[in-house]
């Protein structure tokens, strides 16, 4: 059979399956209650063309027509979308147990070691084991407090690099933030920095790593036709699977080198001298931890992959968005500086112990998470069994997408939802008690329920401390004399919400000179 004939044969099968599925729906009324409303799907590919290049925008627009609980047919897959806080709570709180697994997808298969990681692992004993390891050894309150000095030291290196940059040339703030967060996490996970001296200046490895992480997030955010029309999976019409395999090979080489070097150090100096996470993971290869059994090398690499990608770029991107918003809103920036000057003063840097007193700074972070959630469409979940939500039938096997971006901009929940207004989270504001930890569904940047982001506590600390330090230690000028009013705030869609244009700035030190060298 020729290649063209095989393609036509696959398309014919896909059309046949689509027609058979719809005929069964019409003749046998397979659902006891109606599905949620939604746009009419196209033959074979369903509603995939309706998603466009910015799916979180397109789905939000469709929800204004069809309602906050919507049904889409992507290829042969039923997809339900939650686009309001109340509907999201139904899925992620009331029916959380039923939606605790992930649907099959090419990203988990080709990048995340075939579902061997924490993010995409099926809900069950192995997932609970991986979650427990992270919760105890990396993200517990004790672990976070024990490594507080690491975060503060890496941020001190960042401030020195920014102070040295001066006005000579604009700096790519997002790149430097990524180096800082990666090195902070690397010291906790591996016991050493990933990138040189931490300044990020001219480090090609740091540039390459950032590019790899961004490419991963872009590819993982693509709605791959092969995931929804199985007969076309082999064809890889968008080239997504091929790119994922190549990217996986690069990440695997990076992680293999880390793992092998660490094993040598671990065996030569003894486990008792190691306090980093990777040493703990290596020890768990021979000592089963809980109900999930022993760890394998692949599971260790998959877990490191999750932590190095989800644990670095999301934090650095959020801080980049926060600084961009503050540059655009000088009155808010001035108020934040006033708070920091009164609590911290001009003769030292911000520390984590200061954060609890920085009420306005915390409101700025919440507002940044609201307008610029790091994951605009939640990672997909799958219905283990059929259920009913708001009177509509949700079939077994349906994929759930929560439009976090749309929920946080819902005019029924927020006054002036498109405006950057941190005061909404202060006493007297519209949401003074709202939190971002998964309990208030109007703003859930980390998700909610059983599959809430495992690194939420670390992410919050890192974002708060970085933003507070940058606001306190520097004044900011945009590159090339650009005016704040014309700053590009466009989004580049991926699994995480990147800026379309990097934030290029001139930092101007505003504290006593010795602070930057301490």
Query: In whole angstroms, what separates CA 110 from the centre of its chain?
Result: 19
Which pLDDT score is estimated for 268? 65
Q: Compute the distance between CA of residue 288 and CA of residue 284 in angstroms, rounded to an integer.
A: 6
Q: Compute the distance between CA of residue 376 and CA of residue 405 in angstroms, rounded to an integer.
A: 5
Walk me through the domains of the chain, giving residue ranges and CATH numbers. Answer: 31-517 (1.10.630.10)
78-90: average pLDDT = 98
Per residue in 1-42, pLDDT (tens digit) is 455 444 445 555 555 555 555 544 444 445 678 999 999 999
Strands 381-382 and 399-402: antiparallel
Per residue in 290-330, pLDDT (tens digit) is 455 678 899 999 999 999 888 888 999 999 999 999 999 99
Specify the higher pLDDT residue, 206 or 472. 472
Q: Compute the distance between CA of residue 353 and CA of residue 197 in angstroms, rounded to an integer.
A: 26
Contact in structure between 191 and 274 (CB atoms under 8 Å): yes
Which pLDDT score is estimated for 6? 47
Q: Is 180 marked as binding a ligand?
A: no
Q: Please provide the size of the chain in residues.
A: 518
Helix, strand, coil content of the chain in percent (nearest 5): 55, 10, 35
Quick one: angle between helices 330-343 and 456-473, nearest 10?
Answer: 90
Q: Compute the distance between CA of residue 400 and CA of residue 81 in angstroms, rounded to an integer.
A: 6
Which pLDDT score is estimated for 23? 47
The number of helix segments (H) and strand segments (E) in the chain equals 18, 11
- Picking from 399, 389, 386, 376, the residue whose alpha carbon sits closest to that of residue 495 is 376
Q: Compute the distance between CA of residue 368 and CA of residue 326 in angstroms, rounded to an integer.
A: 10
Per residue in 203-249, pLDDT (tens digit) is 677 888 888 988 998 999 999 999 999 988 999 999 999 999 999 99
Q: Compute the distance between CA of residue 282 and CA of residue 512 in angstroms, rounded to an integer.
A: 45
Q: Compute the distance between CA of residue 459 and CA of residue 64 in angstroms, rounded to an integer.
A: 32
Per residue in 153-210, pLDDT (tens digit) is 999 999 999 998 866 789 999 999 999 999 999 999 888 888 876 565 556 778 888 8
Q: Hey, how many other C-beta atoms are within 10 angstroms of the C-beta on 29?
A: 8
Contact in structure between 82 and 401 (CB atoms under 8 Å): yes
Q: Compute the distance between CA of residue 111 and CA of residue 298 in angstroms, rounded to an integer.
A: 12
pTM of the model: 0.91
Contact in structure between 405 and 376 (CB atoms under 8 Å): yes
Q: Compute the distance between CA of residue 439 and CA of residue 453 in angstroms, rounded to an integer.
A: 13
In the three-class reduction of DSSP (H, G, I as helix; E, B as strand; rest coil), residue 464 is classed as helix
């Amino acid at each position: 059979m020729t290649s063209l004939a095989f393609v036509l044969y696959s398309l014919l099968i896909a059309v046949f399956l689509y027609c058979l599925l719809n005929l069964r729906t019409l003749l046998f009324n397979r659902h006891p209650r109606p599905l949620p409303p939604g746009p009419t799907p196209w033959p074979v590919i369903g509603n995939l063309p309706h998603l466009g290049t910015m799916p979180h925008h397109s789905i939000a627009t469709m929800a204004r027509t069809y309602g906050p609980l919507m049904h889409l047919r992507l290829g042969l897959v039923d997809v339900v979308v939650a686009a309001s806080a109340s509907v999201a709570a139904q899925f992620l709180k009331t029916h959380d147990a039923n939606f605790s697994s992930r649907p099959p997808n090419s990203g988990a298969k080709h990048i995340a070691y075939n579902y061997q990681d924490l993010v995409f692992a099926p809900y069950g004993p192995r997932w609970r084991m991986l979650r427990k390891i992270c919760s105890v050894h990396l993200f517990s309150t004790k672990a976070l407090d024990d490594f507080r000095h690491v975060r503060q030291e890496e941020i001190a290196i960042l401030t020195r690099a920014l102070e040295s940059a001066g006005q000579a040339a604009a700096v790519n703030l997002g790149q430097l933030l990524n180096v800082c967060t990666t090195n902070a996490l690397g010291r906790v996970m591996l016991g050493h920095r990933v990138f040189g001296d931490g300044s990020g200046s001219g480090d090609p490895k740091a540039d390459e790593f950032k590019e790899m992480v961004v490419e991963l997030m872009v590819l993982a955010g693509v709605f791959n036709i092969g995931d929804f029309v199985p007969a076309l999976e082999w064809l890889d019409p968008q080239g997504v699977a091929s790119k994922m395999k190549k990217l996986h090979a690069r990440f695997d080489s990076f992680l293999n080198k880390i793992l092998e070097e660490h094993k040598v150090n671990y065996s030569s100096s003894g486990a008792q001298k190691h306090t980093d996470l990777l040493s703990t993971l290596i020890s768990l290869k021979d000592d089963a931890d809980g109900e999930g059994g022993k760890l394998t090398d692949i599971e260790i690499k998959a877990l490191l992959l999750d932590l190095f990608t989800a644990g670095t770029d999301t934090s650095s991107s959020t801080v980049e968005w926060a600084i961009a918003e503050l540059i655009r809103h000088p009155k808010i920036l001035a108020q934040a500086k006033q708070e920091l000057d009164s609590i911290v003063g001009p003769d030292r840097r911000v520390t984590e112990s200061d954060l609890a007193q920085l009420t306005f700074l915390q409101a700025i972070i919440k507002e940044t998470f609201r307008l610029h959630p790091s994951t605009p469409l939640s990672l997909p979940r799958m219905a283990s069994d059929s259920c009913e939500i708001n009177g509509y039938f949700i079939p077994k096997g349906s994929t759930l997408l929560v439009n976090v971006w749309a929920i946080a901009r819902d005019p029924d929940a927020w006054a002036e939802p498109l405006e950057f207004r941190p005061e909404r989270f202060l006493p007297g504001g519209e949401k003074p008690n709202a939190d971002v930890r998964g309990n208030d569904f109007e703003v859930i940047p980390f998700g909610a329920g059983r599959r809430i982001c495992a690194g939420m506590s670390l992410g919050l600390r890192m974002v708060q401390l970085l933003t507070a330090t940058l606001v306190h230690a520097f004044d900011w000028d945009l590159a090339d004399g650009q005016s704040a009013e014309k700053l590009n705030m466009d989004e580049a869609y991926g699994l995480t919400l990147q800026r379309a244009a990097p934030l290029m700035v001139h930092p101007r030190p505003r504290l006593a000179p010795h602070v930057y060298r301490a």
